[in-house]
Amino acid sequence: MANDAPQHDRLKSLPPSVSAAWVGKDGEVHYEYAPYLPDDRWHGVVVDSASFKQLPHSERLFRLSQAFLDAAIHLCERAGESGADLQWPEASVCYSSLHLSTELFLKACLLRVGTRAVAMNHDISGLRRQYRELLPGPEFAWPTPWDVSARDIAEVLGVEVLHGIDRTPDQLFRYGADKSGAPSAGLQIFAPSEQMGYMTYLKERWTQVWDGIGTKANVQPQLQGGHETTR
């Protein structure tokens, strides 16, 4: 046993990325390396998509919108805590998550009131127009910075103002450049304190709107057949 003591001591202090170690017949310590090690804080925590897939399409989109909004809120919290170390990529990802959550929430609402044809794009301005037509009134109103699109601005002014990647906010925040690699011609600003207040408001407001839609007499809780064209 005395001869095994040095090897035992070596086993207690493993090199990085070692998932297993053993002493071979040759008396040497052998290692099995892994590209990563699991985090034991959540051992046994797991979820699958089985029950989610059984939900109506509108409900799935609503829950995804809430998840992306939660992600944006957590990212914003971390951004604010970064202080002077905050960089634009963190802000851009937060905006991207917020933009996607807004798109998904609008599509969820449109499907829930019985709309069978929802635009296959990421144009929040267009979705908002359809949303306001079907859900007018202050009880369903909430603000978004993407209410006006590049096309809307051009129609009002009679000239194209936004070009390239600046015409598509979802692509701008996701990639930061167009397909040629050209960045935005504008300047985007992110203030964690302002965004946190807005997103916290949205979290509560969207729940109120969603519940309000559910009480409407003409709601179809689950579309029967049809062609839901959401992407």
Instruction: Give the tens place of pLDDT for each residue, 126-177.
Output: 999 999 999 999 999 999 999 999 898 998 999 999 999 999 999 999 999 9
Please report whether residue 126 resides in a domain.
yes
Q: Which residue range forms the structural domain that includes residue 60?
A: 55-144+189-214
Q: Can you tell me the distance from the alpha carbon of 140 to that of 45, in angstroms, rounded to the nearest whole number?
A: 37
Please report whether residue 176 resides in a domain.
no
Please report whether residue 86 resides in a domain.
yes
For the segment 199-212, the average pLDDT, to the nearest whole number, is 97
| pLDDT number for residue 119 | 74
For the segment 72-89, the average pLDDT, to the nearest whole number, is 97
Please report whether residue 69 resides in a domain.
yes
CB 105 within 8 A of CB 60: no
Does the structure show a pLDDT above 70 at 5? no
Q: What is the tens place of the pLDDT at every residue in 172-200?
A: 999 999 999 999 999 999 999 999 999 99
Number of domains composing the chain: 1
Please report whether residue 70 resides in a domain.
yes
Provide the pLDDT confidence category of residue 42 given band limits of 50, 70 and 90: confident
Please report whether residue 163 resides in a domain.
no
Residue with tokens 């109506």: 56
Q: Can you tell me the distance from the alpha carbon of 64 to that of 148, in angstroms, rounded to the nearest whole number?
A: 24
| pLDDT number for residue 19 | 72
DSSP string, 10-74: HHHSPPTTEEEEEE-TTS-EEEEE-S----GGGTT----SHHHHTS-HHHHHHHHHHHHHHHHHH
Q: What is the tens place of the pLDDT at every residue in 70-79?
A: 999 999 999 9
Percent of the chain with pLDDT over 90: 66
Q: What is the tens place of the pLDDT at every residue in 111-121?
A: 999 877 777 78
Q: Can you tell me the distance from the alpha carbon of 80 to that of 82, in angstroms, rounded to the nearest whole number?
A: 5
CB 93 within 8 A of CB 75: yes
What single-letter DSSP state applies at residue 224? -
Which helix (H) or strand (E) segment holds residue 80: the answer is helix 57-82
Please report whether residue 157 resides in a domain.
no
Higher pLDDT, 6 or 13: 13
Q: Encoding tokens for residue 84?
A: 């002077």
Please report whether residue 28 resides in a domain.
no
Tell me the CB-side half-sphere exposure of residue 15, using CA atoms within 13 A: 8
CB 36 within 8 A of CB 30: no
